[in-house]
Amino acid sequence: MLLERIYDEDLAQASYLIGCQAKGQAVVVDARRDIQVYQDLAAKNGMKIVAVTETHIHADYLSGTRELAAATDAAIFVSGEGGADWQYEFEAERLLDQSTITLGNITVTALHTPGHTPEHLSFLVTDGAFSDKPGFLLSGDFVFSGDLGRPDLLDEAAGGTDTRFAGAHDLFLSLKNKFLTLPDYIQIYPGHGAGSACGKALGAIPSSTVGYERNFAWWGHYLESNDEAGFVEALLDGQPDAHAYFGRMKRENRQGPAIIGKRTPLTELATDDVAAALAADAIGVVDTRHHTLVHEGTVAGALNIPAGTKAASYGAWAVDPETDQRPLVLLAPDSKSATEMWDHLIRVGIDKVAGYITSLDGLPLYVPRTISPAELAGFDAALLLDVRNKTEHTAGHVPGSEQLSAGRVLWNTNTLPANGVIVSYCQSGVRNSVAASALRRAGFNIVELEGSYSGWANWKQLQNA
């Protein structure tokens, strides 16, 4: 049996390829939309992808299940659990508790493990060539290394009201009646790692075991003493802010994400053509450079979505493709870099990229306004905006600031002052540059605090020395 983990550092998301070497067949679990990595892995091992499935209706990224199935002619399997309100709306074979997918000697058994979401499945894997007993569990967003999937995302991202309490109850029962009934030797492969917003304290370790989690995870003693009330209170306390784009992901993943098909390679665009399109407000420009370079000058109205490990997350904070249909032009050093950025953007459903440019020459330029910590004290701001998470703000903030996380600002502009200057900051400046660029594009007058909170705290310490 082949079991390969494909990890996306951007979204801290893991997908898996399980393959039967004897039959040359494979199933992919929780695929992302840039699917070449799965096709390459299957080809490398002489396998054909014959099935694709997913653990649940995801909130943090757009599923590649339909994309991969369309490219490989594989069968699609999705959860049929969760009740009428949580059924997928596209054609696929439904999996219920104890349903199986078979690949030669390999059996993948679905376990209904609600809590994070009502329809959530985990997949118990048995390598029949080695043993007739299961040895692995793909736990999705049910059990992570050292943590559990948060049960409050339906409230935060799907319009629910107090569903977190029912979800926490279901999670307790899923642990008690499913997870803890498994042998301690079962190896656990979760759907996310450290950095994901799907839990509050996810470990960076890529796998665990039932026994290790039973004995050492924070929740173990609550299950051992059957203390559901204590478990629910501890589980719901301190969950991170949910990004606003999660609601769009939930809707599109349930309906069935659009299939992109074979993508035409991005071409480099003439800056004259880009300037004309900008003048007509027909495109948007994405500056993929570090925010310190953006602060030296960028395209007027450009979004700052820095290339690197968080490009998809930042892109989903700054672009809402449901309300803004203009195609994007990427400022990137070369074709390879532009294509890599596009790969990240399609993971969150930002598909319309018209091409790329490598220079700002000939384009209308703008230098984003900044203010030093020393100047801030006497500055007349309509709002001092902290775009960090609630927990960060609680731990320490610039006096007089109000908190609204960067992943939510674009969806809460009605709470911001339409007139006057908004001074914004994050911890170091990266998240703030993303949020500030999105708010400028939306028409707000934004000034960024130099050095953000870290810079202000250092300045304050010097003043008090």
Residues of the chain with CATH 3.40.250.10: 271-366, 370-464
Beta-carbon contacts of residue 212 (< 8 Å; ≥ 6 apart): none
Q: Is pLDDT of 36 > 80?
A: yes
Q: Is the distance from CB of 14 to CB of 5 less than 8 angstroms?
A: yes
pLDDT at 309: 86
Tell me, what's the pLDDT at 198? 59
Assigned architecture for domain 271-366:
3-Layer(aba) Sandwich (3.40)
Helices (H) and strands (E) counted in the chain, each on its own, are 16, 25
Pairing of strands 208-209, 143-144: unpaired
Specify the DSSP element, H or E, that contains 169: helix 163-177
Neighbouring CB atoms inside 10 A of 205's CB total 14
pLDDT tier at 239 (50, 70, 90 boundaries)?
confident
**pLDDT band, very low/low/confident/very high, at 202 (cuts 50, 70, 90):** low
Instruction: Identify which of 217, 177, 224, 327 has the alpha carbon closest to the alpha carbon of residue 267.
Output: 327
Q: How confident is the model at residue 205 (pLDDT cuts 50, 70, 90)?
A: confident
The answer on pLDDT for 162 being more than 80 is no
Instruction: Give Cα separations from 211 to 130, 134, 145, 230, 414 (angstroms).
Output: 21, 15, 12, 21, 49
CA distance 211 to 200: 21
The average pLDDT across 317-333 equals 96
Does the structure show a pLDDT above 70 at 195?
A: no
Q: C-alpha angle with apex 240: 317 to 78, nearest 5 degrees?
A: 75
Mean pLDDT of the chain: 94
**Confidence band for 211, pLDDT divided at 50, 70 and 90:** very high
Please give the pLDDT value at position 200. Answer: 58
Q: Categorize the per-residue pLDDT at 360 as very low, low, confident or very high, splitting at 50, 70 and 90.
A: very high
pLDDT at 263 over 80: yes
pLDDT digits (tens, 9 = 90+) for 89-145: 999 999 999 999 999 999 999 999 999 999 999 999 999 999 999 999 999 999 999
Q: Tens digits of per-residue pLDDT, 392-437?
A: 999 999 999 999 999 999 999 999 999 999 999 999 999 999 999 9
User: What is the CATH architecture assignment of 370-464?
Assistant: 3-Layer(aba) Sandwich (3.40)
Interior/surface letters 366-375, b for 16+ CB within 10 angstroms, e for the rest: eebeebebee
pTM: 0.94
Cite the residue boundaries of each domain of the chain with CATH code 3.60.15.10. 2-255
- Give me the pLDDT at residue 159, please: 63
Confidence category of residue 240, pLDDT binned at 50, 70, 90: confident
2-255 maps to which CATH number? 3.60.15.10
The DSSP secondary structure of 214-249, one letter per residue, reads HHHSTTHHHHHTT-HHHHHHHHHTTPPPPPTTHHHH
Which of helix, strand or coil describes residue 295?
coil
Q: From the centroid of its chain, how far is CA 444?
A: 26
Greatest mean pLDDT among 8-12, 42-46, 244-248 lies in 42-46
Please state the rounded mean pLDDT for residues 34-50. 98
